[in-house]
A and B are shown apart, each in its own frame.
Chain A
Amino acid sequence: GAVVSQHPSRVICKSGTSVKIECRSLDFQATTMFWYRQFPKQSLMLMATSNEGSKATYEQGVEKDKFLINHASLTLSTLTVTSAHPEDSSFYICSARDTDRDRETQYFGPGTRLLVL
């Protein structure tokens, strides 16, 4: 149980284009999902918290107009990197909490590697 998927697993795009990443909780409902970014050899950095049916809450320094988050259902949150640039190249990871079972534990997706040329 508590499986989280991400799609795509890897994406290469040209500078200036937008990229959408999906995060799904496959066998549980997640009222809260989280988006992280991880650069090589570094730790995960929390970007934003996504709550179903409401606006996401962004961490300091994260541009909400550049990283659009939508959490339209209890099993799906999307992150759209708008007008991507090479410096946005990174490993993006989502996580979700199974609020019915275990409120203190996050379950992570496999990550999406974004390369902007």
Chain B
Amino acid sequence: LAKTTQPISMDSYEGQEVNITCSHNNIATNDYITWYQQFPSQGPRFIIQGYKTKVTNEVASLFIPADRKSSTLSLPRVSLSDTAVYYCLVGDDNYGQNFVFGPGTRLSVLP
């Protein structure tokens, strides 16, 4: 089971780009990397998923280096509504492996 390490908290200002890095040194060959966003008293929301290189969607980009031992979630031009906890999960679709949450990163976007 690939353990993940993220910064506990980050602060940013509106309009800035925010990069949150997750370390997963023992990631396995079949593991995917998935990021979720959670607001208070809500279930996590899927943001982005990748296996290698770079993935981009309408809300974020995910950068994964060649060794896949880390990944970086990039949020362009954050707003106050992006204040949330962001979780990085690593695993494959085998039973149980993709579903252990670390402590996450609490992002605070300031005006």
* A residues at B contact (CB < 8 Å): 4, 6, 32, 34, 36, 42-46, 49, 57, 59, 91, 93, 95, 97, 103-111, 113
Contact = CB atoms under 8 A, between A and B. Distances in A.
Given A91-B41, A110-B42, A111-B42, A104 B92 contact: yes
22 contacts: A4-B43, A6-B43, A32-B95, A42-B103, A43-B101, A43-B103, A43-B104, A45-B101, A46-B100, A49-B95, A49-B99, A59-B96, A91-B41, A95-B43, A95-B44, A103-B93, A104-B32, A104-B49, A104-B92, A108-B45, A108-B46, A111-B43
Interface in B3-43: 32, 34, 36, 41-43
Given A110-B42, A111-B41, A104 B99 contact: no
Interface residues of B, number: 22
A34 B43 contact: no
Query: What does DSSP make chain A's interface, helix, strand, loop or mixed?
Result: strand
A29 B95 CA distance: 17
Contacts, number: 59
Nearest to B87: A43
A57 B96 contact: yes
A93 B43 contact: yes
A57 B42 contact: no
B61 to A, nearest CB: 17
B74 interface: no
Contact of B46 (A34, A42, A103, A105): A105
B98 interface: yes
Contacts of A43: 87, 101-104
B41 A113 contact: yes
Contacts of B49: 104-105
B21 to A, nearest CB: 18
A12 to B, nearest CB: 15
Nearest to A45: B101
B92 A106 contact: no
